[in-house]
Amino acid sequence: MNAKLAGLGLMALIAAALMWAGAVEPEATMKTEQDSLLLRMADLTLAEGEHHSGSGNCVLCHGPDPIAMQDAEGNDVSVVTHWQATMMANSAKDPFWRAKVAHEGLENPDYTDEIANVCTGCHAPAGHHEAHWAGDDLYNIADLEGDEMGLDGVNCTSCHTINDDSLRWRFNGDLPTNEDRVIWGPFTPQVTMPMQNNVNYTPTSSGHMLTSEVCAPCHSLYTHTFDLEGQPTDGVFFEQSTYLEWLNSSYPEEGVECQTCHMPRLPGGTILSDRPTWLAANPLGQHHLVGGNSFMLKVLRDNAAGLDLSASTVQFDSTIARTERMLQHHSANLALTPLDAPAGEYAFEVELENLTGHKFPTGYPSRLTFIEFELRDTLGNELFHSGAWSPEEGIAGRDLPFEPHHNEITSEDQVQVYEMVFADVSGTSSTVLDQAASVLKDNRLAPSGFSMGHMSYDTAAFGPAAALDADFNRFADGTEGSGTDRLVYRITPDGYFGEVIAEVTLHYMTLPARWVEEMFGYAADHEAIADFQAMFNEADRTPVEVVKVFYPESAAGVASVQDRPDGRLVPNPATDRVRIEGLDVHQAWLLDAAGRQVAAFSGTEAALGIDVGGLPTGMYFIRVETRSGEEAVLRGVKG
Ligand code: HEC
Ligand code: HEC
Ligand code: HEC
Ligand code: HEC
Ligand code: HEC
């Protein structure tokens, strides 16, 4: 990591923090009593355990309130409001998780309960640990079904009772036991009695709550490999290494922790509790806790009643908006550079840069990103298209069992997909977590500063092809840690030699259909799998657009050509003058086929007709701003 880039990283983060604070989502302006009826706090559990406490017990003082937990404008920023509609709050009711636990058990029937016990360790931590402290050996799905504490998911006390005890090297939900009814937080509390009296916890200051180590025990996960007969082998497999990926990046030394990006600080802070009434404001790390999983959040929102979820639609919509902002503003950069090529051939370099604090994508192995590359002539006709997506076919050109990592793409049946693919003991690609034995492919983008020499590299190694790619995670001078990948698209369209427009899009997918096929094969054998299959088939599975770039850059301006039934160009095609009909024009701009601006007109000038006589034949655009401030782009053809 060179000093210049380190500086840029921090600058970007400062800018990012400001953007996070400034963006609007449905929840963000809720303050009146009427509004707060849209939040559903009363359904949170009041369960009490030996060491854990249900999230409903924290609402009284840390929930939405006219005194506490609001920003400078009086909008609700309660930690409960934010947390309640996150994936972590709903981790024990997550229908994909439920289906997958069932699937893993069906694949390894002699160990069904042992496997479920491992899964509940992170997805239902408070219930799991309470049961073990009470002397139970196993905590499975039947135990969870009747246990409000387990169903509370990764709840407040799951995080706030984590002692600072060798956290870095804990895995698989191995949380240290907090015997002392201590709630850890980053600040010295102004008063401790209210919490002691009400929930029998003492809020206590400790710096470890501001470090990534609190997240490590649940965000480092390895599985014990089972063979195809469902029997354990000696092998282990690192399924998720998000914390260890972060550890092997430039962020630890820059002081950028998980919280920096996932719990953005509220400018100005807030009063943390509504009682006592005299508390001064404190800093607040907002409990946004979002990643890239807007897909499942939508499934949760749309099935909330059936799944018995407590959060309201407004809360889910807010978490979804934050998630998509995370993906679109903080995940990756894309750059497109034309390369010299002989006449009739078109060559472009595409460079991707990971902006997250870990691999991109990270976490659960179904996640992937892929590149869609479209080349068009100046009439808008398609010359080449790699990585098109449709609900029926998924990603066009994606090979079975998996698409190799590419350095150069020359044909439409190749597509760049960044993902992790694992194999079982026979070397066959698999989606059974407990049979994972080796990596077939892992070309997920490394975070900035990542190196193959780092002590934790073996927990987050590149797959074979990425490790051999000379520019993967390499700066131009060959040193490691760029967090980038470069690849070339080299295209020879049939008999076309003219100007071209290229459009490149990076897409993110939480759960491609292919990844759940194997599991859905068991739908007849388990209700949880059949239930999730029904929800999956109902869901909108369109990938999220992360970033998009154009060549020439000016073509971006005409990318959003919308069919405006009310606005049209007359005549079309035209040879000299056109009029804009159906729109109340304030200003208009004439653009050529590549989106370059040719001329500008006032509303009055445009009403006299726009001269397109000087344009070459082919497509052109007129961009319009109406008097009411709306924008439209109309497409015309010069005859
Ligand atoms: C070390 C803690 C831990 C354990 C143990 C664990 N998980 Fe997870 N699991 C996670 C985390 C963290 C995520 C979220 C990662 C992400 O969003 O990319 C996750 C995500 C998932 C998802 C995706 C959920 C979604 O909504 O997309 C499924 C399915 C899942 N786990 C199944 C299982 C199964 C089955 C087991 C037991 C064999 C298990 N998990 C054990 C931590 C754990
Ligand atoms: C009766 C009111 C009340 C209840 C109920 C309550 N708290 Fe608190 N909490 C407080 C007060 C008061 C503070 C100190 C605020 C301050 O110093 O500004 C506090 C502080 C905290 C802190 C910050 C500690 C630090 O050192 O930074 C955390 C974390 C916390 N509470 C978590 C919880 C959790 C989790 C629950 C539910 C199990 C809960 N609280 C229930 C009143 C309450
Ligand atoms: C995923 C772990 C996690 C969960 C779940 C969680 N917290 Fe926190 N909480 C933290 C961390 C980390 C901080 C410190 C953030 C900071 O200050 O930047 C924190 C801070 C706080 C604070 C002090 C103010 C602050 O931002 O430092 C309070 C109060 C609090 N949490 C209450 C709660 C309550 C109530 C819940 C449940 C509704 C909850 N937390 C759930 C991790 C968690
Ligand atoms: C007790 C275990 C546990 C702890 C501690 C924990 N997590 Fe998680 N986290 C999970 C599980 C389980 C999931 C997956 C839930 C699911 O998808 O069903 C998850 C998912 C997430 C996600 C994915 C959300 C999405 O929408 O894609 C993010 C981001 C996250 N955790 C951040 C954090 C951060 C930051 C910390 C530390 C402050 C932390 N977690 C601490 C268990 C934990
Ligand atoms: C520099 C900012 C940054 C830091 C530091 C960071 N993350 Fe993230 N994280 C992101 C962004 C942006 C995303 C959304 C893109 C994605 O899904 O990878 C994300 C996504 C995630 C996801 C969800 C992946 C999914 O399936 O969608 C998890 C889980 C997660 N982060 C956990 C963590 C943990 C744990 C840490 C600390 C060890 C951490 N992050 C540090 C920016 C960061």
Give the confidence band of 14 by pLDDT, cuts at 50, 70, 90. Answer: very low
201-236 per-position pLDDT tens digit? 999 999 999 999 999 999 999 999 999 999 999 999
Mean pLDDT over 474-496 rounds to: 96
pLDDT confidence of residue 31: 73
Taking the C-alpha atoms of residue 490 and residue 214, their distance in angstroms, rounded to an integer, is 46
Ligand nearest to the CA of 506: 5
> Per-residue pLDDT averaged across 492-516, rounded?
95
Task: Choose among 117, 61, 121, 112: nearest CA to 91.
Answer: 121
Q: Is the dihedral of CA 215, 88, 186, 48 positive or negative?
A: negative
Mean pLDDT value across residues 522-537? 98
Q: Which residues are CB-neighbours of 461 under 8 A, at least 6 positions away?
A: 439, 442, 452, 467
Q: Tell me which residue has its CA closest to atom 25 in ligand 2.
A: 185
Region of 242 (left: φ > 0; alpha: ψ -120 to 50; beta: rest) is: alpha
Asked if pLDDT for residue 8 goes beyond 80, the answer is: no
Check pLDDT > 70 for residue 562.
no
Would you say 255 and 275 are in contact if contact means Cβ atoms under 8 Å apart?
no
Pocket test for ligand 2, best of 183, 201, 274 (most atoms within 8 A of CB): 183
pLDDT more than 70, % of the chain: 94
Q: How many Å lie between the centroid of ligand 3 and the Cα of residue 86?
A: 13
pLDDT tens digit sequence for 302-344:
999 999 999 999 999 999 999 999 999 999 999 999 999 999 9
Residue 22's pLDDT is 37
The residues, ordered by sequence, that sit 6+ positions from 308 with a Cβ below 8 Å of its Cβ are 93
The pLDDT, as a whole number, for residue 30 is 78
**Mean pLDDT, residues 454-467:** 97
> Which pLDDT belongs to residue 382?
93
Q: Reply yes or no on whether the pLDDT at 36 is more than 80.
A: no
**What average pLDDT does range 47-70 have in this prediction?**
95
CA distances from 519 to 90, 294, 380, 554 (A): 21, 21, 42, 46
Please give the pLDDT value at position 161.
98
Torsion on CA atoms 491, 492, 495, 499, rounded to nearest 10: 40
Residue 12, pLDDT score: 34
* CA nearest to 86, candidates 266, 296, 246: 296
Q: Where residue 593 falls among pLDDT bands split at 50, 70, 90? A: confident
Q: Encoding tokens for residue 389?
A: 């997506």
Q: pLDDT category, 378, cuts 50, 70, 90?
A: confident
User: Does residue 145 register a pLDDT over 80?
Assistant: yes
For residue 401, how many other CB atoms are within 10 A of its CB?
12
Q: What is the mean pLDDT of residues 481-490?
A: 98
Q: What's the rounded Cα separation, in Å, for the pair 82 and 75? A: 12
What is the pLDDT at residue 21?
36
Q: Give the chain's length.
A: 639
For a pocket test of ligand 3, which of 155, 183, 287, 315 has the largest count of ligand atoms closer than 8 A to its C-beta? 287
Q: Is the peptide bond before 361 cis (omega within 30 degrees of 0)?
A: yes
For residue 188, the ligand 2 atom closest to its alpha carbon is: 26
CB atoms within 10 A of CB 542: 12
- Summarised one tens digit per residue, pLDDT across range 175-199 is 999 999 999 999 999 999 999 999 9
Average pLDDT, the chain: 92
Cβ neighbours for 448, distance < 8 A, ≥ 6 positions apart? 1, 5, 9, 249, 250, 251, 354, 481, 482, 483
Return d(Cα 247, Cα 253) in angstroms, integer: 9
Mean pLDDT of 515-536: 98
Statement: residue 19 has pLDDT above 70: no
Q: For residue 17, is pLDDT > 60? A: no
Report yes or no: 470 and 558 within 8 Å, Cβ to Cβ: no
Closest CA to 118 of 46, 212, 226: 226
User: Cα(88) to centroid of ligand 4, in Å?
Assistant: 5
- Which residue's entry shows tokens 């850059």? 553
Q: How far is the CA of 238 from the centre of ligand 3 (A)?
A: 28
What pLDDT shows up at residue 560? 58
More confident of the two residues 271 and 13: 271
- Average pLDDT (463-488) is 97
58 CB near ligand 3 (under 6 Å)? yes
Expressed in angstroms and rounded, the spacing between residue 357 Cα and the centre of ligand 5 is 6
Q: pLDDT band for position 559 (50/70/90)? A: low
What is the number of other CB atoms lying within 10 angstroms of the CB of residue 449? 22
Phi-psi region of 515 (alpha: psi -120 to 50; beta: other; left: phi over 0): alpha
Determine the average pLDDT of the residues in 590-612.
91
Does residue 573 have a cis peptide bond before it, meaning omega lies within 30 degrees of 0? yes
CB 238 within 8 A of CB 264: no
Give the Å distance between the CA of 202 and the centre of ligand 3.
15
Residue that is written with structure tokens 């922790």 in the block: 257
CA distance 16 to 22: 10
pLDDT at 463 over 90: yes
Tell me how far CA of residue 268 lies from CA of 73, 280, 283, 286, 559, in angstroms. Answer: 11, 12, 7, 12, 39
Which pLDDT value is given to residue 268? 93
CA distance 375 to 380: 9
Closest CA to 407 of 477, 492, 466, 320: 466
The pLDDT, as a whole number, for residue 407 is 98
Q: How much is the pLDDT for 272?
A: 97
| pLDDT tens figures, 256-300 | 999 999 999 999 999 999 999 999 999 999 999 999 999 999 999
Q: Cα–Cα distance between 240 and 295 in angstroms, integer?
A: 19
pLDDT given for residue 66 in this prediction: 87
Do residues 157 and 56 touch, judged by C-beta distance below 8 A?
no
Nearest protein CA to atom 27 of ligand 1, as residue: 296
Instruction: Return the residue matching tokens 């490149």.
Output: 504
- Ligand 1 mean position to 97 CA, how many Å? 7
pLDDT > 90: percent of the chain = 84
Does the pLDDT of residue 446 top 50, yes or no? yes
* CB proximity list for 293: less than 8 A, separation 6 or greater: 87, 323, 510
User: Which residues are within 8 A (CB) of 47 and not within 5 positions of it... i.e. 6 or more apart?
Assistant: 53, 54, 56, 148, 149, 152
